[in-house]
Chains A and B, each alone.
Chain A
Amino acid sequence: MSFDAIVIGAGHNGLTAATVLAQSGRKVLVLEGSSEVGGGARTVEFHPGFKVSPVAHLVNRLHSKVISTLKLEKHGLELGKGSAKTVVLSHNGPVLLHGGWGERLDGVASEEDRRWGEMRKVLLGQAEFLTPFLARKASQLGQFSWRDKAFLAGRAVALRLKGREKFEDFLRMLLICVADVAEECLGDDRLQALAGFDAVLGQRLGPRSPTSLLGLLYKLSGGVNGVPGGQVVPKGGMGTAAAAFAASARASGVVLRCGAKVARILVEDYRAVGVVLADGSEIRARVIVSATSPQSTLLGLVGAQHLDSGLVRALSILPGKGNVAKLHLALDRVPDLAGMSGRFVIADSLNEVERAFNPSKYGELPERPVFEFVLDKSGAPDSACVVSACIPYAPFDLKQGWDKGRKVLTKAVMSRLEEHAPGIDKTVVHAELLAPPDLEAKYGIPGGHWHHVDMSADRMLMLRPLHELAGYQSAIPGLTLCGAGSHPGGGICGISGLNAAQSVIAGYAV
């Protein structure tokens, strides 16, 4: 059987690209190295009877365009309605944020409630301005079409029409640190801590690092069920989302092949013409789309010998090492958290987040980690429960080594959980800590990095992942990039897969 296009990697971006290509009438083959589809959006049994979503555990930016193009709801995606709560756990008592990023608050003084509302409005306004940028292809500088130019002109006008004050605020705030904004607008440590935490989760920045506000704007540009900044813990885990992506792909005629590890991309006569699998077999197609990171695609699968040296160097120094660990706990009963549910964030203050960040710069672990977690009863036997925690500032290259580091970090996280849910330690049936190297080895996330390439200000839009590779181009004709390393970036979003496929259909990079 011959194919028009081969997609490497069956994560949500790979599956989105494959489905869109198949919808255009192309015969598409998806090759996945591991034994099942889903990539960062899967759900696995980590202890007999206990299931967890080992990479992403929240849906908070899956794009509506992706949902509708792939008809994901028809294929089994259930996101319910509205947004789950966020609960900030702190020694000053909890704060509850209802709706999309705290439309309504519980647990703070009314004056603080008002201040939060004002800050939230400003930030959501700025995020809303950025959202259209994140939905469309970011063309390479110097290759702007008239559509790109018209879009930019339109955005410039839209920004100016918001009024002088908002225009100035936007320019002033765009590249500053989240701590400055939080301290300027808020008085409550817990809310400041949350703003800081949400800005830096998944980034290699602390809340006092310049440009860290961008991370928060990126988060707020997402959402779910039409709620900006909203989030959902999908029933049955992220695996249900992955299953919907896969079902949609199959329904469009995509052939999915798991356990088919691509060893290299065949380049003949200066263009990509197919792939060679780990077992030595060769599959050819006119179009190759790679959902893995730009670094592993070009340096690993294509090979430096087919590229220009300057590009190779730029790729080899791309920041592509993750710093978020996952902790999975199988508990024999539901912890006592006063009946609260949703996403929990444990952070006392902005400075605590910053202090957790500091050691990571030197390859060390925080003494008092800050983290988010979700409770999931659906993935566990009756009356039992699963905790899935994302712990930032867990460097890929840990100085003491992860054999030791796993125990140290688990202990530090458990002791913080114990502060808020006394006795939780004794209910742990099984604990699994996945450091970034584990995420890479077990789930094929390059560098264990959520975004494949840091989501820093210098790696966004037409600079993502590199100027030369903007617009889903790969420098090799016939090969297109569609993963989180491409614009707009990581998270279970699907836009890079969608846009890359549309670029192929439009005839770019072919």
Chain B
Amino acid sequence: MRPLEARKADQGHWHQTLRSTPYTARIAALMQGSHWSNWSGYQSAQIVQDEELEYFAIRSTTALFDVSPMTKYAIQGPDAEAYLNRVTLRDVTKHAVMRVQYTAWCDDEGQVLDDGTLFRFSATEFRLCAQERHLPWLLDCAIGYDVSIGEVTEEFAGLAVQGPTSCAVLKQAGFAGVEALKPFQMRDYDGIMISRTGFTGDLGYEVWCKSADALALWDRIWDAGQLRGIASIGYVALNKARIETGFIVAQADFVAAWSVLREDRGRRPDEIGLGWLLDFKKGQFNGRRALLANKPKHCLVGLEIEGNVPADGAVVYHTGKKVAGIITAACWSPMAKRNIALASLDLPYGEAGKDDLRVEIYALRELRYYKAMKRAKVVPRPFVVLPRRTLTPPADF
């Protein structure tokens, strides 16, 4: 049990229904209005000042987004690698030290529980970052393995520094050599860890530090970014960037298996565009047998829809008659100058020959709905490819 003082200090927790993160104070000071949302029980900004300007900070300068609410698990021990190889989809034995893997994990039935990023610090030390909480599942998976699993969400603060000038900002902030980092590589700066990762499809980094050091780190980066257009952004802008990149979000583009109520609503990795993570030759992993024994029944596709009205939540039809699926995310892409969307379709719709799709859009215009059946074309994802995302070293500003 925790010391009495600590528990007493926490007794008023119910006054604040959402917990703040180490960066909440700085973001709140910048925010006009009060656009907070609930991310795993923490305050997360939807819009800080202006969603359009925030989006363009991602694409033109540098955007700061607080990723501290990300659930983080420290996974350590002699069997950590074998354990993660059994839990997650990708081959962890090939995961090099000081690199990051984007990955996902399934239940016994091969249905996706969540996706996330796996950081490897040494032969025996990992950190798994995920949207949702998974401790009971991760502990169940540990039966038979010499591994320790601890939740460290509140121990570490995370800050996404994304945009064309982000590398220059970090260099200016004193992180010498950050330009040498390749995508999915990470480096330790005296306890501050920088990984070249992000959710924007742009040049960008995520900076991780002990929660107690977070505000000093924010100030250091903020000051360094003053001449390079740094801005604090909310999720609305980030969401637009991630749709352009074709990234998926749990509980938005698919329903996580642990929360599914209806039998057919869970999704296999290859039903949500994550088939490329599957490695059936790497050894046993959760869901392997079920995935091999069954075939995918759905697919996730990128759609380009005629017109310019975003098609959020719209029904997708095949040849205008048969329901083929639903739009899970959509926006007018400022970069691609196209009306784009992610859609979850029932196979064979979306495959060649079955891709004559229409999207039923209801546009609300001053108390009146305008219904439109718009043609939609299956297009490859990402919708927007930026060479600067992978260019090493990045251009200097």
Instruction: Please give the residue numbers on chain A whose beta carbons come within 8 Å of chain B beta carbons, in ascending order.
Output: 270, 299, 303-313, 316, 468, 475
Q: Which residue of B lies closest to A299 (CB)?
A: B144
Q: Please determine whether B108 and A303 come into contact, CB atoms closer than 8 angstroms.
A: no
Of the listed stretches B168-176, B201-209, B218-226, B282-290, chain A binds B282-290
Q: Please determine whether A305 and B107 come into contact, CB atoms closer than 8 angstroms.
A: no
Instruction: Please give the residue numbers on chain B whose beta carbons come within 8 Å of chain A beta carbons, in ascending order.
Output: 82, 86-87, 107-108, 137, 140-141, 143-145, 284, 286-290
Q: Please determine whether A312 and B143 come into contact, CB atoms closer than 8 angstroms.
A: yes
A475 to B108, CA, bound (A): 11
Q: Please determine whether B284 and A312 come into contact, CB atoms closer than 8 angstroms.
A: no
A475 to B287, CA, bound (A): 12
Residues of A within 8 A of B287 (CB): 308
Q: Please determine whether A305 and B137 come into contact, CB atoms closer than 8 angstroms.
A: no
Q: Please determine whether B284 and A306 come into contact, CB atoms closer than 8 angstroms.
A: yes
A270 to B284, CA, bound (A): 7
Residues of A within 8 A of B144 (CB): 299, 303-305, 312
Q: How many A-B residue pairs have CB under 8 A?
A: 46
Residues of A within 8 A of B288 (CB): 270, 308
A429 to B140, CA, bound (A): 50
Residues of B within 8 A of A304 (CB): 143-145
With A305-B82, A305-B86: A310-B286 Cβ-Cβ less than 8 Å: yes
Residues of A within 8 A of B137 (CB): 309
Residues of B within 8 A of A305 (CB): 82, 86, 144-145, 284
Residues of B within 8 A of A270 (CB): 284, 288-289
Instruction: Report, nearest first, the 5 A-B pairs whose CB atoms are least far apart.
Output: A304-B144, A310-B108, A308-B108, A309-B141, A313-B140
Q: Please determine whether B284 and A310 come into contact, CB atoms closer than 8 angstroms.
A: no
A270 to B291, CA, bound (A): 14
Q: Which residue of A lies closest to B110 (CB)?
A: A308
Q: Which residue of A lies closest to B285 (CB)?
A: A308
Q: Please determine whether B140 and A312 come into contact, CB atoms closer than 8 angstroms.
A: yes
A309 to B141, CA, bound (A): 5
With A305-B284, A475-B289: A316-B143 Cβ-Cβ less than 8 Å: yes
Residues of A within 8 A of B140 (CB): 309-310, 312-313
With A270-B284, A475-B289: A309-B145 Cβ-Cβ less than 8 Å: no
21 contacts between A and B (CB under 8 A): A270-B288, A270-B289, A299-B143, A303-B144, A305-B86, A308-B286, A308-B288, A308-B289, A308-B290, A309-B87, A309-B107, A309-B108, A309-B137, A309-B140, A309-B286, A311-B108, A312-B140, A312-B143, A313-B143, A316-B143, A475-B289
A493 to B152, CA, bound (A): 53
Residues of B within 8 A of A311 (CB): 108
A299 to B143, CA, bound (A): 9
Q: Which residue of A lies closest to B107 (CB)?
A: A310
Residues of B within 8 A of A316 (CB): 143
Q: Please determine whether A309 and B86 come into contact, CB atoms closer than 8 angstroms.
A: yes
